[in-house]
Amino acid sequence: MTFNRPDGREFDEMRPIEAKAGIIARADGSGYFKIGDTIALAAVYGPRDLYPKFMQDPTKGVLRVKYNMMPFSGSGDRVRPGASRRSREISFVTERALLSAVNLEDFPNAVVDVFIELPQTDAGTRCAGICAASIALADAGISMKDMVAAVSCGKVGDTLLVDLSYAEEAVEDLPVADMPVSFLPRSGKAVLLQMDGQITKDEILRALEMGKEACEKIYDIQKNALKEKFLKGEQDA
């Protein structure tokens, strides 16, 4: 059954996106990423010496990620404050996605901390967090092989979609599948793939292609956010 999107978007169309770099003055690097009504803020601190010393690695640095949704940020139920099983899981998969791009060999015995806060959400939170964190890492001057771009794909009924909203994820009379994906845009390498719901192998492959094309557009937006920040800095100097 064909599904018509509630907001009138095309099946491969993302919600409006806004991105900024350097929004948190006291952080070494920071990023803002807004897609639809979902907002992610990311702050990077480091590289700095890792303590206690027994955790240090003389061959490379350590990346730590903490993801947090604020209690009244969501369209659904109120989020309980503090660490949760979901926040730990998203912190872990975000860390793994970012690790694919960060050159930690340049920072032996050091740690780079990434804090992601979601003050407002309407689905696609882990993807928005990854996009904001990638901007923040680049803003901090962390050596990277590539940016990391992410978007949610999936299907409602028989219709494959890009960037599902909460209203689409919450449809009750049709089967729904949600599939967050993340790519290194220049190489086209997929670095995150998760699934919730039933979807066929053929649909996964088609959704991945849709997600890859969407991430290439997000990559351009991320680059422009960084360019605007540094151009502004040159003008203010």
Q: For residue range 124-170, what is the model confidence (pLDDT) as tens digits?
A: 999 999 999 999 999 999 999 999 999 999 999 889 999 999 999 98
CA distance 205 to 181: 12
Return d(Cα 17, Cα 15) in angstroms, integer.
Answer: 6
* Alpha-carbon span 68 to 110, nearest angstrom: 23
Tokens of 51: 């303590």
**pLDDT attached to residue 75:** 57
Please state the pTM of the whole predicted model: 0.92
pLDDT at residue 231, as a whole number: 84
pLDDT given at position 127: 97
pLDDT digits (tens, 9 = 90+) for 52-90: 888 888 999 999 999 998 766 565 555 666 667 888 999
Mean pLDDT of 159-182: 92
Under a CB-based contact definition with an 8 Å cutoff, are residues 23 and 39 in contact?
no
Query: In terms of C-beta density within 10 A (0-12 exposed, 13-18 middle, 19 or more buried), how is residue 192 classed?
Result: buried
**Cα distance between residue 120 and residue 117, in whole Å:** 9
pLDDT of residue 222: 98
- Domains within the chain, CATH numbers bracketed: 17-236 (3.30.230.70)
Would you state the pLDDT for residue 72?
A: 67
pLDDT at 79: 60
pLDDT exceeds 70 at position 234: no
Structure confidence by residue, pLDDT tens digits, 199-209 = 999 999 999 99
